[in-house]
A and B are shown apart, each in its own frame.
Chain A
Amino acid sequence: MADHPFILEMNHISKAFPGVQALDNVTLKVRPGTVHALMGENGAGKSTLMKCLFGIYKPDGGDIRLDGETVAIASSKDALAHGVSMIHQELHPVPFRNVMDNVWLGRYPLKGIGPIKFVDEKKMLADTKALLAELDMTIDPHVKVGTLSVSNVQSIEIAKAVSYSARVIVMDEPTSSLTGNEVEQLFKIINKLRARGVSIIYISHKMEEILRISDDVTIMRDGKLIGTWPAEEMTTDLIITRMVGRDLTQRFPERSNVPGDVRLRVEKLTSPQQHSFKDVTFELRKGEILGVGGLVGAQRTELIEALFGMRTIAAGSIEIDGKRVSIKSPVEAKKHGIALLTEERRVTGIFPVLSVLENTSIASLSQYRNGFGLLNERRARMDAEHNVERFRVKTPSVKTLIGNLSGGNQQKVLLARWLLTDPDILMLDEPTRGIDVGAKYEIYTIIAELAKQGKSIIMISSEMPELLGMSDRIMVMCEGRLSGVVDGRAATEEDIMRLAAQRER
């Protein structure tokens, strides 16, 4: 059993949806005790392949083998029974229950007489402690999961997978909401799992991570397998080239924007909450891209949400074009020409059951209203179609539900939504998170073009190359305070890290 060269084989998997060949004869072979990176642009078929592995989709052809034996997996429960587990990008714990309830959810240890069973809390506690200790996790089993950080919730999910004696764990963008330290922590856990002979299928867009942690790299494009290579033979450029199928000599577009007069002046802005932003002062010019760097917990999102009227402020002032303004709601922010592309696309961005057209026009409906209060749908549709074309949104039509598009395309639609409100100040919170390389470049191009037109842009990003590659200036925050502003073209990653990690004394 253990001597089989591959713990998991997915051979010649094909899957078609009406009008799309989502997977075309894809083969993935994972060696035991390795980290296997699965890469490809959004829409390349990674998720579809994983959904076939978990029985969410039934492949049209091909077979799945574990330790050389063909298995039939019809549901994630079957997969779990075969020792195949998944850590999703977006975690769904039961927030009001504690850590051990979450770990043993659905299979609580029972005790009792005859048919009368009670949950054996004692055993559950002991088992949880043992499990967490084994993985060097220091999390209190009694704490409610809703109060934990994303990183800890993820650790619990991993522990849960281990408790199912998982042999293959799929991790989908596991570091997308982790800070630098937390990533290190995750890598430690991954190394421990690898040492135990567990295989990890690691799905990520972050090249640096992939090259550091993985043993093998499999690249997919347009539903097809491009190939599998040992990680040490790969470089960032090589991966990108193979993923996009063309040479991407540049990851960032040329920018020709020229920052002008001051448009926004924020003075000593302070949150009423103790641990949130404090005394933040900065300026934003016309036609400027201002990057905002910092670790998770730096309160960057909180700061721009306050500027957008989603959070209250205790002190400080906001001036737009020299005039002091008070912004108490997104409605008012919109009136002052501010737009916000939020970090959590699914939670605060898209309307999944509505069409691309409706998602595009929803923030600017009043401009389509005629004298009778009726909407001019034809004009809204033309605008939406124009934007779909301009941003190269891949969608069959503007009537398609946005929920059916890939993340990158959803993000472009959201960007279009805000541009239709004709904002002067565009605030982007992690605009390229979870988006593939090709779409990223397109979004960068749009941002650069907007700055050139004179729009002022604030861009929060946790990706250093993005901050450095796109910003005119970068302001770095640390624990709610502004720790420094650096020139985007002259600064280095080290400069930003130093400011981001600067602890208050």
Chain B
Amino acid sequence: MNAMNTSSIKNFFTQNAIYVVLVVLIIGIAVSDPSFLAVTTLRDILLQSSTRAIIALGAAFILITGGVDLSAGRVVGLTAVISASMLQLSEYPQRFFPNLPELPLIVPIALAILAGLIVGLINGVIVAKLSVPPFIATLGTMVIVYGVNSIYFDTEPNQSQPIGGLRKDFTELGSGYFGLDGKYSIPYIVVIAIAVAGLVWVIFNKTQLGKNMYAIGGNIQAAKVSGIRVGRNLIYIYSIAGALYGLAGVLEAARTGGATNNYGNMYELDAIAACVVGGVSTAGGIGTVPGVMAGVMIFGVINYGLTYIGVNPYWQLIIKGLIIVAAVAFDIRKYLAKK
């Protein structure tokens, strides 16, 4: 093998480190237990990764602008509770709203997503108009949202009881699937996540907002001078991210058939981890949708795969942490000065 070949192979690995890690992981697990390579496994991983993917895509918007959003997890909790509270079976004994008539499915879902969007909007306004650093702004809203959600969750007659007895048409959204030829099936929730990813890809790559997002993260001063309405764009971006967390919260409630105010706790960190593992730069300006999806999948494979082959859960944590650091250490080689 000549020098040119070695360097181009090395180049391929540095450029595609994330996908390589994903493949190596799958191979590693499959070697240790070949039954891992089954269609059902893939479906389960996708199912578990779907809501995570939507949250991570929201988080990616913020990271690419050079910010960070800590409120994501608590927004998921808020919208899970909001949607679940309005979508209980009418015969269920402990209803959140005992006299609520049966609403069209779309109404509570839309209200929950709107709630997420409003939190995002508030984040955006705090960051853009009050010039509070995103870390602090979203730390504040994270705590506030949890407080607001807990008050709502604690209202009479619910008094902080887990919300259960959800309508079948709602839980179907989270656990139903398109059957394909008996054996194969695609869960609705996976289809939704893929559709969201497609939409986000279009925003990132084909819209003015997307280009502005990369520009703001790449050099906010230059963005201002170039006549980009930085504040307005940031508000849009935080709002979209909030709406995505909102959607994820709704799907979490649907998937699990219930909700409490603690839903979504710390999901923001998983989302940020998936993003950075997927090549999103926390310094802003860099990140792609396929990268984020690969990052989410890596964690999906780890969570499912390591449990599948019987790795102790505490060891799983250590492996996850190592992968976060190692993946980013690899990925960053792309941007370091070549020696």
CB of B214 closer than 8 Å to a CB of A: yes
Report the separation of the CA atoms of residues A58 and B338 in the bound assembly, to the nearest whole angstrom. Answer: 10
Interface size band for A: 20 to 34
Q: Judge if B20 is at the interface, Cβ distance under 8 Å.
A: no
A377 to chain B, nearest CB (A): 7
Our pick among B206, B207, B215 for the contact of A354 (Cβ within 8 Å) is B215
Evaluate whether A330 and B227 lie within 8 angstroms (CB atoms) in the complex, with A347-B221, A351-B218 already known: yes
Tell me whether A352 and B219 are in contact (CB under 8 A).
yes
Please measure, in the bound complex, the distance between the C-alpha atom of A353 and the C-alpha atom of B220, giving whole angstroms: 12
Contact status of A334 and B222, CB under 8 A, knowing A353-B286, A362-B211: no
A161 at the interface (CB under 8 A from B): no
Chain A proximity of B179: nearest CB distance (Å): 34
**CB-defined contacts of A352 to chain B, threshold 8 Å:** 218-219
Complex partner residue of A342 from B225, B229, B337, B338, CB under 8 angstroms:
B225
Mark each residue of chain A from 329 to 359: 1 if its CB lies under 8 Å from any CB of chain B, else 0. Answer: 0110110000010100001111111100010
Quick one: given A330-B225, A340-B225, A363-B226, are A58 and B339 in contact (CB under 8 Å)? yes
A104 on the interface (CB 8 Å rule)? Answer: no
Decide: B225 and A349 in contact? CB cutoff 8 A: yes
Q: Considering the chains assembled together, what is the distance between the CA atoms of A370 and B202 in angstroms?
A: 14
With A331-B229, A354-B285: A365-B212 Cβ-Cβ less than 8 Å: yes
The distance in angstroms between the C-alpha atoms of A17 and B286, with both chains bound, is 24
* A21 located at the interface, meaning its Cβ lies under 8 Å from any Cβ of chain B in the complex: no
**CB atoms of B226 and A362 under 8 A apart:** yes
Q: Does B208 contact A (CB under 8 A)?
A: yes
Q: Is the CB of B227 within 8 A of A361?
A: no
Q: How many angstroms between the C-alpha atoms of A331 and B212 in the bound complex?
A: 14
Flag if A350 contacts B219 (CB, 8 Å).
yes
**Nearest chain B CB to A325 CB, angstrom units:** 15
B333 within 8 A of A: no
A366 on the B face (CB < 8 A): yes
Partner of B227, one of A342, A353, A358, A363: A363
B89 to chain A, nearest CB (A): 41
Whether A365 and B218, one on each chain, are in contact in the complex, defined by CB atoms closer than 8 angstroms, is no
Q: A371 to nearest B CB, angstroms? A: 13
Q: Does chain A have a CB within 8 A of B129?
A: no
| Residue A310 is within 8 A (CB to CB) of chain B in the complex | yes
Task: Give every chain A residue within 8 A of B338 (Cβ-Cβ).
Answer: 17
CB contact list, A373-423 vs B, under 8 A:
373-375, 377, 417, 421
Most chain B C-beta atoms within 10 Å of own C-beta, residue among A347, A348, A361: A348
28 contacts between A and B (CB under 8 A): A308-B225, A310-B224, A310-B225, A330-B224, A331-B227, A331-B229, A340-B225, A347-B219, A347-B222, A348-B221, A348-B225, A350-B219, A351-B219, A351-B222, A353-B214, A353-B218, A353-B285, A354-B218, A354-B285, A362-B211, A362-B212, A362-B226, A362-B228, A373-B207, A374-B207, A375-B206, A375-B211, A377-B206
Chain B interface residues (CB < 8 Å from chain A): 7, 202, 206-208, 211-212, 214-215, 218-219, 221-229, 281, 285-286, 335, 337-339
